[in-house]
Structure 1
Amino acid sequence: MGLSASMWTSVSGLLTHGQKMNVVGNNIANVSTLGFKSQRMDFNDYLYRGIGTTSGTNQIGAGAGVYAILGDFSQGSLETTNSATDLAIDGNGFFQVRKPNSEQMYYSRAGDFYFNKSRELQNPEGYLLQGWKVNNEKKLTFNNGATNLGNASLSKSAYVGSGTPTDIVLDSWNIVPQQTTNVTFTMGLTNDGKGDRTTSSTSPMTALFDLWDGKSTPPIADTAYATQSSIDVYDEGGGTHTMTVYYDQVDASKTDSTGNTIYNIKGLPAGYTMYEYLVTIPPSQDNRSFGGTGYNEATNTWTTEPTKFYNDPTAGTNKNAGVLMSGVMIFNASGQLVNQTAYTYGATESPAANNQVAVDPSAKSSWQPTKVSSNGLPVFSANFTGQPLANSVSETMSSGGGTPVSQVQNYITELDFGLKSLGTPTWTNSTSLADLAVQTPTPPATTPFVDYSNVPIMSNGQRQEYASVANTTSYTVQNRTQDGYASGTLSNVSIDNSGVVHGVYSNGKTLPLYQIALYDFQNHQGLYREGGNLFSATNDSGEPRLGVAGDNGFGTTRAYNIEQSNVDMTTEFVQMISTQRGFQANSKGITTVDTMLETVIGMKR
């Protein structure tokens, strides 16, 4: 080997330092690029050649080469913006975007998204952000007996959307009405001295039910109950209706002025408190009917015409028009709700398909243990719009002679006081509200919706109504919610830390529309840089791992923020200086070898 080999050693140094300056320059050029991840270049000693020495064979280095160019995928700083669709990932993960007019997917940390004229969420290059669509349609089903919710609270999934991630597109600026499918009341006990306002010597657990009269205005007097709670609910067309639940304490025992026992409810543990509740709507809004037979869906006609609950042309208004559900609640000595019963009209009847329940709603025996939803909650049907076979949870219909199906299942509403059924509920020794006055008491049970007790035979048949003056514990409603709403127009969009895109509507409702999908890779160094703030997957990067923001190692999404470049200017300038010095040193090696070669050439003179 001659001196020329030494020159090429220095040339390799010049080339590698020149390449490194490209990397440093690219980092500095992208110091303001959104979501940019900087790079660094590592050198290695390139090649060695063997030479003979007095001590044997040794090696002399032949220069340097580019060993690796590694990406720095650390978090960039977040910059606040004024756009709700500007998004930053605080932590691990990438957005997935689809190239327009293709199925090619790319990954990016740049979150400068906006809705285009087609209401698609895109970046400035037209790439479409991917996420799961959220189904806001609510449909209840009856518990078929197989559901067992267990004793432990259910864990809530971080996934709001479902299916396969797709383009995030606001299909419509409007939302259709959602009928109410769930009404929830949060309860508490207070010492307000109201006590048992209405009672009955023969059936104290149905005193409010017995007192209700849909023919009267109002159907029940203000002095008849301890408290009440009203909430607006919605039918399938978005119409608003006021639902009112009345509550009154049921004293465990009563005595008259001479000390004689009027009644005594046995089986109720010491310190426990019982309340009767009555779920109602204004009788004039009750469009249920009963007794109709042979409904023909094609012609919307009956073989036998139904009788209306309210203002029937022949029968007038039924006494129980407006009553949707009745039952009792049991509170333990600490004021916690521990049990509940629930009765609705004709719940255990078995009319033939296309026939309505025929029993008279004014009879207490017609109000029977209701069905339970697949969520473990008791249900009722208000039938605000007069659906032909949605008056009782037991009615079915058959289209064209096919298998009977439940139409009412599309119109039922859950009542949630905070208890869920553990499997299929049973009401011990109770087939209807009428049985509560005559059945033998049963011991306390642990399954919700099973009576703690039934009323024993009373000492007389006189019904008594009075206002208690005792300073007793009373029930109050602390909060109430329902899930229905009227139609509305989109007025705004918001995105939360879980990547859920919410639509804010003119009806005051905020609904989840999409959930942004996040992706991550086992080997970030294997990602291919496409330019335009995009990466693509390779065999080296491995298949992308799919998830949602804030779950399973993924970072959270931050609206009104964009991630800046993670380039550190101080580091880059230091690298620039050291690279420059390295380049200068190698160039000096070349000029030195050149001088040595000139000396060799000059020897011939």
Structure 2
Amino acid sequence: MSINSALLAGVSGLTANSAALAAISQNIANVNTIGYKRTQGEFSTVVNSQTTGAGYSAGGVLATARHYTSQAGQLQRTTSGTDLGISGQGFFVVTEKAENLNPTDARLFTRAGSFSVDNMGYLKNTAGLYLQGWPVDAAGNITTDPSDLTRLSTINVGSVGGTAEATTRVQLNANLQSSQNVSAAATAASTTPVGTGAYDPATNSMAMYDPEAGTGVKPDFEVTVPVSDSKGGQRTMAISFLKSSEPNQWYAEIRAIPADDVTTGAGLANGQLKTGIVAFTQDGRLDVDAMAALGADALFADPANATLNFGASDDAAPAAGGANWAAGLGIAEQTVSFDLTAAAGGLTQYDSASVVQATLTNGTAFGNLSEVQIDEKGFVTAIFDNGVTRQIAQIALATFPSPDSLSEVSGNAYRVSQGSGTFNLKGAGTGGAGMIGASQLEASTVDLSTEFTGLITTQRAYSASSKIITTADEMLAELISIKR
């Protein structure tokens, strides 16, 4: 009977509008939920099969929920460096537990990036879900995999200890006074035969100088250079200069202070690391060609490749002219390069007082973790108070062919569904994945004006559906009363 179908159509209208009201209520309740994606009830007509000449049978309406998961919310600035927002496509990969993850443990996906460091150092959002990323291996490399979730691990910033960085480069900006008087020891070294008390890097060197004992030769000028070893320990090198009687040439020695910090091979003594001659041009610059012509007699035959090599403490005895760190120090091998021809200065010989303008090194002493920063590519970097930075991990972003078809779970997260398609793991800014914004959070996509308007229309539609039922009831009552 058509009246019965009208009655049932009214019931379907009540059911459908109830579902729409539930979706609107969910949206309004989550208007301030970080990363929330609005849901909307959408209606579709239900049509019953009709028999010709038998009247019309109303089918009613069916409500389905449509999830706008792919709709991006506005990024809002925060004061926390671990708050993360995604500008573009992609979801953070999260898990419900931080440690001992198995392949069977659920991996969820979310845009809610309000992460903070928990008591174990893991990054966890307000729903208690832990952020996943590709870790840095022992060699400092990050190996990404677009399809294997088990290659991800929970990002931990609390397990990062202190670090140090060994010195590998020294830039020396210093001037040697060209009018420096030639000492008696240097003069004696240039006579034939060699005079009494002559300077000799092997038997009467600047490294042997001791005014109280009356040994060695006093340098005309000396520069000390701080050096950090592989453990962050502070070592000291000294570069001593003695003006030669040969114009534009100086004797030079590089030595360790104290001398027992190193073990040296034949030809070196008293902590010496390198000895030789430094030559200058007539306009006061380092004479690279002259030093190349000096060959083995030069401090560095090739000033552009001026390096000192220290063997490790546990290496075998050094060869002639070589040096190891002392066995008691227990430190690793090290190569220190000297920049003596820097455009900003370098080593010069002008007729002004001998002076050191700057000694620049790149090594650092031991430093503690001061902060953790996350850049737009998702690289998590530890910054130490000694200026050293070290990457910890890279945040993985998951993209889907149909993100609107993901299945919702509690905690403002999603699971893979048959309709969503399989995930694809990417680094931020690659393969269509969005960029990551640190100190930003994605706002809810709920628009209150739209929801309140929908609330009014849904209420009216519900009332109208109830009128269908009451009207159909009155018509049935009229039909029943015909017999009276």
* TM-score grouping bracket, smaller chain normalisation: 0.5 to 0.7
Map 1:583-598 to 2 at 5 A: 583-598=462-477
DSSP 3-state at the match of 2:92: strand
Shift of 1:168: 1.7
Residues in 2 aligned to 1:15 and 1:539: alpha-carbon distance in whole angstroms: 27
Candidates 209, 227, 235, aligned match of 2:229 = 235
Map 1:6-155 to 2 at 5 A: 6-52=6-52, 62-100=59-97, 102=101, 103-135=105-137
Change beyond 3 A, Cα 1:14–1:528: same
Map 1:524-539 to 2 at 5 A: 524-539=403-418
Letter in 1 for 2:110: S
Shift of 1:495: 3.1
Q: Deviations over 1:183-206 (max 9, x none)?
A: 38699xxxx9x99x9xxxxxxxxx
Residues in 1 aligned to 2:81 and 2:276: alpha-carbon distance in whole angstroms: 45
Residues in 2 aligned to 1:14 and 1:378: alpha-carbon distance in whole angstroms: 87
> Which residue does 1:575 correspond to in 2?
454
Q: Is the 8 A contact 2:113 2:441 kept in 1?
A: yes
> Which residue does 1:310 correspond to in 2?
269
DSSP 3-state at the match of 2:262: coil
Change beyond 3 A, Cα 1:5–1:239: same
Letter in 2 for 1:557: I
Residues in 2 aligned to 1:219 and 1:544: alpha-carbon distance in whole angstroms: 73
Q: Deviations over 1:362-395 (max 9, x none)?
A: 954997889xxxxxx9964134858435679999
> Which residue does 2:148 correspond to in 1?
none
Q: Is the 8 A contact 1:74 1:566 kept in 2?
A: yes
Map 1:199-598 to 2 at 5 A: 214=207, 221=220, 232-241=226-235, 282=256, 284=258, 287-290=262-265, 309-311=268-270, 321-323=272-274, 363-364=296-297, 380-383=308-311, 385=313, 387-388=315-316, 411-413=333-335, 415=337, 482=362, 484-486=364-366, 488-598=367-477
> Which residue does 1:166 correspond to in 2?
153
DSSP 3-state at the match of 2:153: strand
Letter in 2 for 1:562: L
Change beyond 3 A, Cα 1:589–1:394: farther
> Which residue does 1:604 correspond to in 2?
483
1:183 is aligned to 2:169: yes
Q: Deviations over 1:207-259 (max 9, x none)?
A: xx9xx965569997559xxxx9x86432123222356899xxxxxxxxxxxxx
Shift of 1:479: 10
Q: Deviations over 1:513-557 (max 9, x none)?
A: 333222222211221111112211223222322223344433333
Change beyond 3 A, Cα 1:244–1:600: farther
Letter in 1 for 2:161: N
What are the ranges of 5 or more consecutive residues in structure 1 without an aligned counterpart? 139-159, 198-208, 247-261, 263-275, 292-306, 312-316, 329-338, 344-361, 371-376, 397-408, 418-465, 470-475
Q: Deviations over 1:398-424 (max 9, x none)?
A: xxxxxxxxxxx962437497xxxxxxx
Q: Is the 8 A contact 2:300 2:306 kept in 1?
A: no
Residues in 1 aligned to 2:159 and 2:422: alpha-carbon distance in whole angstroms: 34
Q: Is the 8 A contact 1:119 1:171 kept in 2?
A: yes
What are the ranges of 5 or more consecutive residues in structure 2 without an aligned counterpart? 145-150, 181-200, 211-216, 241-246, 280-287, 325-330, 340-347
Q: Is the 8 A contact 1:106 1:536 kept in 2?
A: yes
Shift of 1:584: 2.0
Structure number with the higher helix fraction is 2
Change beyond 3 A, Cα 1:368–1:185: closer
Residues in 2 aligned to 1:30 and 1:283: alpha-carbon distance in whole angstroms: 67
TM-score by length of 1: 0.55
Q: Deviations over 1:238-293 (max 9, x none)?
A: 222356899xxxxxxxxxxxxxxx9xxxxxxxxxxxxx9x99564655725225xx
> Which residue does 1:461 correspond to in 2?
none
Change beyond 3 A, Cα 1:520–1:220: farther
Shift of 1:24: 0.9
Length, aligned pairs only: 423
Q: Deviations over 1:283-324 (max 9, x none)?
A: 655725225xxxxxxxxxxxxxxx7x332xxxxx6xxx3339
Change beyond 3 A, Cα 1:392–1:573: farther
Letter in 2 for 1:498: K
